[in-house]
Structure 1
Amino acid sequence: MIPVQPLTGNARQSSSPVIESRALRAVCGSFPTGVTVITSGGERTGAATTVNSFTSVSLEPPLVLFCLHRGSRLRGALEDSGSFVVNFLTHRQEQVAWRFAGRESARLSEVPHHRTPNGLPVLSEALAFLECRVADEYDGGDHTIVLGEVVGLGTSAEEIDPLVFYRGGMRVLGATGPEPVDI
């Protein structure tokens, strides 16, 4: 267990403490996230990487973002194509997530996929996908924040549980839980 300072009545302090990356990772790991694989590139230049730093930004215009490590193998394919696909993984795709998570990862050609009409790779067994063109990029420390405009999308006809990342591990979101609430 990594020691973490508990919050007090006033969370804001006058001087900024040095935050250790291990402690930050441990605390952020307490927030469950969906697991996605970002794909990009053409037939011969296709690449993929697993990310859990994905979020929807705006419905009008339709914008999403993800964070990409500056040294990611996806960087070249993304720069060449100027577009990407966010593949939402199912609980059956845990091995796919791990295969694209490491520095030495699988090749896109080793995973079942098909192409969008614009030629981008989509993982064939994904729960859903968003096809995006890069709208902008922002500095995010050792990552680049990639903002994308959604230009295409799709979902699986089958209702399948998603893959979730929580406290350093892949998990399945249980199908038995509270009923969804319309907001």
Structure 2
Amino acid sequence: MIPVQPLSQHDRHLPQPPVDGRALRSVFGNFATGVTVITTGGPEDGAATTVNSFTSVSLEPPLVLFCLHQKSRLRPALQQSGGFVVNFLTHSQETLAWKFAGRESARLAEVPHHRSASGLPVLTEALAFVECRITEEYEGGDHAILLGEVTSLGASTEEADPLIFYKGAMHVLDPDAATPAGS
């Protein structure tokens, strides 16, 4: 356990030392997230990257966001296309998630996908997807925060467990460990 010392009233006004990046990553690893692949680009230049920093923002209007490293190879393609697709991965897509997570990413052309009505790539075997147009981009330290308005969506008709990321590794939900709320 990482020790946490509460700040006294006096200490709250003093400059605090910077938070160690490795410690921050370790603490954040205790928060389980879903695993998504963001796809974008035109018919000739589709691109993708794995992201776990995705969240819904609003139902009215329908907004989502994700964070992307400032130097991500996906950023120029996103800016050119003006839109993206968030593909929610199933437990059987772990290899795909890792392929798109590395610096030397897999090519989208090597992965089963189809085009949405507006021409953006959608991973064919994803659990679900939301297609968005970029509405805002904010600076967030070494990342960009991209806000998108959902323009179309879909979900697989087949039941599948989602892929999750926890403590630096991909995991599958354990259906035997789950208990419904209020049980």
- Fold shared by both chains (TM-score > 0.5): yes
TM-score by length of 1: 0.92
- 1:128 is aligned to 128
Q: 1:89 to 1:10 in 2, by over 3 A?
A: farther
What is residue 4 of structure 1 aligned with on the other side? 2
Q: What's the CA shift for 1:5?
A: 2.9
| Distance in 2 between residues matched to 1:96 and 1:52, nearest whole Å | 14
Q: Give unpaired runs (5+ residues) of structure 2.
A: none
AA in 1 matched with 2:60: E
- Alpha-carbon displacement from aligned partner over 1:46-91 (angstroms, at most 9, x marks no partner): 1000000000000000000000111111111101110000000000
Superposed counterparts of 1:80-159, under 5 Å? 80-159=80-159
Give the match's secondary structure for 1:125.
Answer: coil
Give the corresponding residue for 1:31: 31
Q: CA–CA distance in 2 between the matches of 1:38 and 1:123?
A: 9
User: 2:179 maps to which residue?
Assistant: 178
Cα 1:77/1:154, change in 2 over 3 Å: same
**Inter-partner Cα distance in structure 2 for 1:61 and 1:26:** 35
Post-superposition offset of 1:6:
2.2
In our comparison, the structure showing a higher alpha carbon Rg is: 2
The AA in structure 2 aligned to 1:67 is C
Residue of structure 2 in register with 1:47 after alignment: 47
Map of 1:17 onto structure 2: 17
Which one-letter code corresponds to 1:66 in the other structure? F
Equivalent residue, structure 2, for 1:61: 61
1:164 is paired with a residue whose SS is strand
Once the 2 structures are TM-superposed, how far is the Cα of residue 4 of structure 1 from its aligned partner? 2.8
Post-superposition shift, 1:16?
A: 2.3
For the aligned residues, what is the CA RMSD?
Answer: 1.8
Deviations 1:11-45 (A, max 9, x none): 98433221111111000010000000000001111
Residues 86-129 of structure 1: CA deviation (Å, up to 9, x unaligned): 00000000000000001001000011001100000011110000
Aligned AA (1:37): V
SS of the equivalent of 2:101 reads: coil
Moved more, 11-20 or 106-115: 11-20
TM-score for the superposition, normalised by structure 2: 0.92
Which is worse superposed, 169-178 or 141-150? 169-178
* Structure 1: gaps spanning 5 or more residues: none
Query: Quick check: 1:162 aligned with 2:162?
Result: yes
Give the C-alpha shift of residue 179 in structure 1: 2.1
